[in-house]
Each structure stands twice: as structure tokens, then as C-alpha cells.
Amino acid sequence: MAVAAERDDDLSASLGHLPEWRLEDLYAGPDAPALKADMDKAEAAAAQFESAHAGKIATLDGAALGGAVAEYERIDEVLSRVASYAQLVHSGDMSDPEVGRFYQSVIERVTDISTRLLFFTLELNRIEEADLAEKLKAPELARYAAWLRDLRVFRDHQLSDELEKLLHEKEVAGRAAWNRLFDETLAGMRFPFKGKELTVTQILEKLTSRKTEERREAAKSLGATLRGQGRLFALVTNTLAKEKEIEDRWRRYPAPVSARNRANQIEDEVVAALTETVRAHYPLLSHRYYALKAKWFGVDKLDYWDRNAPLPNDADRLIPWTEARETVLTAYAGFDARMADIGRRFFDEGWIDAPARAGKASGAFAHPVVPSAHPYILLNYQGRARDVMTLAHELGHGVHQVLAGAQGHLQSGTPLTLAETASVFGEMLTFQAMLKGQTDPAKRKAMLASKVEDMLNTVVRQIAFHFFETRVHAARREGELTPEKISDIWMDIQRESLGPALRFDDDYRYYWAYIPHFIHSPFYVYAYAFGDCLVNSLYAVYREAETGFAERYLDMLKAGGTLRHKELLAPFGLNAADPDFWAKGLSMIAGMIDELEAME
């Protein structure tokens, strides 16, 4: 079989020039003297920091401790810049062994250097609350109050210094190594399709083809090829789940999801309210919509390869890059010119890598890098309407990261739940602007159906992923899981969440294997549903607000990690701790399905 070209010539001509990011803003190249110099300086500074402060943190007064935190922040920001550069280079081409070697070498050295700094956070967490409160009276330390608050969330789960150091140093040969194996395996896989061999990104794109036979061939090729690597993917899943179980047990976390909830600064009961409310709404949302879509396709049941298919009367034209850019920026400008101005920099200054290339990481992400630099966005743009929504989503992350950068390296990062709020809000702005400009009833119906499907993918599908992870991690505690057992759990969850209107076959059983979040960030996925439901409620406030909403929204983004969800949502009159809050968010999706049913 011939290997597919990196980009089909016809597709390339239709999409126009797709930008590639300019990583030279960070370093001139992997062999750049500045890269080595930064690591050398960070290593010397970390050694000096350890020599000056190890064992003495509790004795420092507030001003001196504030100075120590500032120095720690400076060193850590350099290390984060170096590690981010290596990650971005690797994401651009995971198939090149030399790139893989560079990435691993950098991460190993960064880990070695950061080990010298580990004592600092451990000693900070051993300071008694009353003593810390006294030290926080000094303005030099008070500016880092939010970082200290979030650091101390993990205080009760902290191990001895020696164990923490061991776990930190083993990361590069443990979880990080398994992550890399997963990434490089998936990036190197090729999926047979019409006499060619496609990347995972390319084969997934075929699932939205207008042609039923193409969707079917792509779906079965994806499943069969994943099954061929099933033992490897099951080994990665088993190993990482067992590693997590061991560490969770030592740290005394009550449930596999608890560590993620602590990192997200969100209570276990709030996450439980979200996930159970979504599950209770499966019949009203996904079950009802897919039954409606089956009716549109003239069948009793939809084959799974038709789940995201364009509607029969949807032209589903390819959207050139320049049009995608203007669509998103115009929508952002319609909300607030400042958002569009920040977003425009990503396009004009080389912060986006858009083409789908062989070896490139699949999917999309926005990487914040560090506040002293700027974020980067990775896409695999192929001209579909969903790709435009992905651009709007990742640009929302990027704008958020730029605005939060003023909080500094240690306090600019936000919990995943709130980070997804900014991205999903960007999607909603773009969709609503596009819908408002569409007067053709058939095209409006297609747009509305596409948005419902995106929201179901963001809410129902991601919560189903959450329950899949929950069951896999629980079952792993009883012993290693075979590929077939993992697939059984996957199928049970999919049937429950997607409903009786979907028909599956054995080739669908291994679709769990390509989902990177299960590997990279266990229990990340509920953050998408959190963000979507929150944005639905937030957008309802926006539509009813007369003035001042945009200012409050931008203030929320600028806060970065300094405020928690209760404080951030209070200005909008929203409370995520209220179970009814989630039902209200889901009602927007139900309302869109109502509108589609009324069109019949």
C-alpha cells in the first residue's frame, strides 16, 4: 500500500496556506546555545537555592520567605520554558527518533534539576497554619497567597521527603515513559483506507465524510488496526492504572478521582453532582437526539460510523483557513474587541501550527508555555465546520492564558475545569455568531444539529469517558485487565450513554485505545462537561445582561489561578455547588433538541 502524502493536494488547495508555529520565539533550535545556557544557569541556581534554604524554610520571616518564593518562581519558569519547548518540538513530529531523543534528554535533565527544588514545597507544607498566617502579613509573601493556598491542598497527602524525591525522579522512567510510548505508537500507526495508509488524525476525519461507504471503511479500519495493537494499549492502561492505585494508596486518597479533584480545586461532591446529573439526563439528551438523527437517515438504528455524519442535506463544504480565521475573530470581536485583538496575535505572530502532518500529535491543544513567552496552539485543521469550532475552542484557551499571564508563573495556571470554561465560551460565541447570520432553514438545521452533536460530545461523551475510567480503575484493583475486559467495560458504557438508537459491532470495541486523556491525565475528562454546562449558564446570563458582562468575564480570565470557582462565579450569580445548576446547564442542550424536533 502507498503511504498517504502528508496533505492531499486537492485538500491543500481548498484550505489555502496553513500556518506552522514559530518555535524560534523560544529557542533557535534543539542545538541552540541559549537552550543549553538556560539549563546550565537553572542548574547552578537550583543548587545555590538548595544550599541556601534547605532545612531552613520554617525559620524565615514573611519577607524573607516571599523572597525565596520569588527566586523559586524564577528558576521554575526557566525550567518550564525549556520543557515546553521540548514538548512542542516533540508534538510537531513524534515519528523522528532524533526528536524523541532530544525530548527525553531535555525532560530528564529538567527533572534532575527540579529535584534540587523539591524540598521547598515540602517544607512549605510543613509550616503550621498559624505560623504561615503570621508570615503572610508580609506583602512580599502575601502576593503568593493563592499559590500557597493551592499548594497546601495536597498537604494531607504529602509523603516523606525521601519518598517524594524518589517519585519525582522516577517520573521520567515511569508514567512519562509510558505516555511517550503511547504517543509515539499512535503517531506511528497507519490505517488502511482506499489503497492508502492514513494517520490516526486522517482516519478520524474520514468519519465525518459525506459518503456512507467512506465512513464505514474508516470506522472499521480504525477499530481493526487498534485491535492489532490491543495488547500494547492494554498494557499501557493497566500499568498506569496500577501505578496510580499504588500512589493513591500511599497518599491516602479516598477514590481514584480524588487527586484530580484536588488539582482542580473542586470538591468531590460537586464532581459527583455533575457526573450523576449528566448520566440522569442521557435519555433526554443523547438517546433522544440519536433517535431523531436515525429518523433523518431513514433507519431505525444508526450505525456508529454515522454518529457524527453530516446530515443528508448538509453541504458540509470545506472551509478555507482564511475564512475560519475571520469567522472566529469576528465572533470574538462581537463580544469584546480586546479578545479579538489578543486572538489575532496567534495568527499574525506564528503561534499556531495548523496542518495535519504525518508524525504530528493528533487532536489539538493550547500550551501556555510561560508568562515571559507566549502560548502556542496545535491543530490538525482539515476544513470541516468542527475544525472551525476546534480553532475557536483552542483560541479561547490561548486568550485566557495570555490574560492570566499577568498573575506570574506560579499563579497564572487555572484548574482544568475553569480552563475549559474559557475555551467552550469561545466556541459558543463563534457558533452563535454563525447561527445568527444563517437564514436558510436547511442550513440552520444542519448548524443546529452539528452544535448539538458537539455539545453531546463535550458533555455526554466525556462524562461517559469519566465513568469508563472509574470502572477501569476500580476493576484494575482486583487484578490486571485483559484487552477484552477493557473493551467490555467500554461497550457497556457506550451503550448506556449513547442509547438504543446506536448500533455497534466488534470493530468498535477498541475505540478506547486512541483516547489520550486516559493516558496523560486520568480523570481530566469531566472538566469538559463542567466547562460546557457552566458556559451554557454563563451564556444565559450574558444574553440577559445589559452592560458590564464582558468586563466581568475578562476579569475572571485575568484572575488566572488566584480565585476558586465559587469566587469567580459569584459576580455572575452562579453556584456550581448547587445540583440544580447542572440541570440548568443541560437544559440548553435539551432546548436545542426541542427546536430540532419542532422543525420536523
- Distance (Å, whole) CA 485 – CA 488: 5
Quickly list DSSP for 434-503: HHHT---HHHHHHHHHHHHHHHHHHTHHHHHHHHHHHHHHHHHTTSPPPHHHHHHHHHHHHHHHH-TTEE
Those residues whose C-beta lies under 8 Å from the C-beta of residue 346, and which sit 6 or more positions away, are 352, 375, 377, 395, 398
C-alpha cell at 529: 462537561
265: left (phi over 0), alpha (psi -120 to 50) or beta: left
Task: Supply the pTM of this predicted model.
Answer: 0.87
Most confident of 144-153, 309-318, 443-452, 526-535: 144-153
Q: CB 439: neighbour CB atoms within 10 A? A: 7
pLDDT at 182: 96
pLDDT band at 1 (very low <50, low <70, confident <90, very high): very low
Measured N-to-C along each axis, helices 337-348 and 385-404 cross at an angle, to the nearest 10 degrees, of 100
pLDDT at 6: 43
pLDDT (tens digit per residue) in 298-327: 999 999 999 999 888 776 688 999 999 999
202, 4 contact by CB (below 8 A):
yes
- Name the 3-class secondary structure at 194: coil
pLDDT at 441: 87
- Distance (Å, whole) CA 365 – CA 7: 20
Burial status of residue 366 (CB atoms within 10 A of its CB: 0-12, 13-18, 19 or more): buried
Q: What is the mean pLDDT of residues 562-583?
A: 86
CATH number of 31-173: 1.20.140.70
pLDDT at 578: 77
Average pLDDT over the chain, rounded to an integer? 94
pLDDT greater than 70 at residue 188: yes
C-alpha cell at 555: 476579569
Bigger pLDDT: 41 or 5? 41
pLDDT (tens digit per residue) in 349-368: 999 999 999 999 989 999 99
pLDDT band at 8 (very low <50, low <70, confident <90, very high): low
pLDDT greater than 70 at residue 429: yes
Quickly list DSSP for 359-407: TSPSS-EEE---TTS--EEE----S-HHHHHHHHHHHHHHHHHHHHGGG
Q: What is the mean pLDDT of residues 171-194?
A: 95
Instruction: Select from 483, 486, 482, 480 the least CA-distant residue to 243.
Output: 480
pLDDT greater than 50 at residue 400: yes
Q: How many CA atoms lie within 13 A of 78 on its CB side?
A: 22
Q: What's the one-letter identity of residue 25?
A: D
Instruction: Select from 460, 396, 382 the least CA-distant residue to 431.
Output: 396
Those residues whose C-beta lies under 8 Å from the C-beta of residue 333, and which sit 6 or more positions away, are 339, 340
- Distance (Å, whole) CA 456 – CA 451: 9
- Distance (Å, whole) CA 27 – CA 34: 7
Can you give the residue ranges of every domain in the chain? 31-173
Given CA atoms 337, 342, 344, 348 in this order, what sign does their dihedral have? Answer: positive
Angle at 156 between CA 151 and CA 158, to 5 degrees: 70
Which of 10-19, 244-253, 458-467, 501-510 is predicted least confidently? Answer: 10-19
pLDDT greater than 90 at residue 507: yes
Instruction: Select from 487, 186, 489 the least CA-distant residue to 178.
Output: 186
pLDDT (tens digit per residue) in 273-287: 899 999 999 999 999
Those residues whose C-beta lies under 8 Å from the C-beta of residue 557, and which sit 6 or more positions away, are 399, 400, 403, 404, 422
pLDDT greater than 90 at residue 391: yes
Angle at 107 between CA 104 and CA 112, to 5 degrees: 125
pLDDT at 478: 96
Partnered with residue 376 across adjacent β-strands are: 367
Q: For residue 357, what are the CA distances in angstroms to 89, 95, 187?
A: 13, 11, 10
pLDDT at 17: 95
- Distance (Å, whole) CA 329 – CA 344: 7
pLDDT at 492: 98
pLDDT (tens digit per residue) in 117-156: 999 999 999 999 999 999 999 999 999 999 999 999 999 9
pLDDT greater than 70 at residue 418: yes
**Dihedral angle over CA of 204, 207, 210, 212, nearest 10:** 140
pLDDT greater than 60 at residue 5: no
pLDDT at 39: 98
**For 458-489, b where at least 16 C-beta lie within 10 A, e where not — what string?**
bbbbbbbbbbbbbbbbebbeeeebebeebbeb
196, 221 contact by CB (below 8 A):
no
Q: What is the mean pLDDT of residues 2-18?
A: 66
pLDDT greater than 50 at residue 2: no
Q: For residue 427, what are the CA distances in angstroms to 306, 338, 423, 503?
A: 23, 17, 7, 30
pLDDT greater than 50 at residue 266: yes
pLDDT greater than 60 at residue 563: yes
Instruction: Select from 541, 264, 208, 567 the least CA-distant residue to 416.
Output: 264
Burial status of residue 208 (CB atoms within 10 A of its CB: 0-12, 13-18, 19 or more): buried
Instruction: Select from 61, 170, 26 the least CA-distant residue to 111.
Output: 170
pLDDT at 306: 96
- Name the 3-class secondary structure at 234: helix
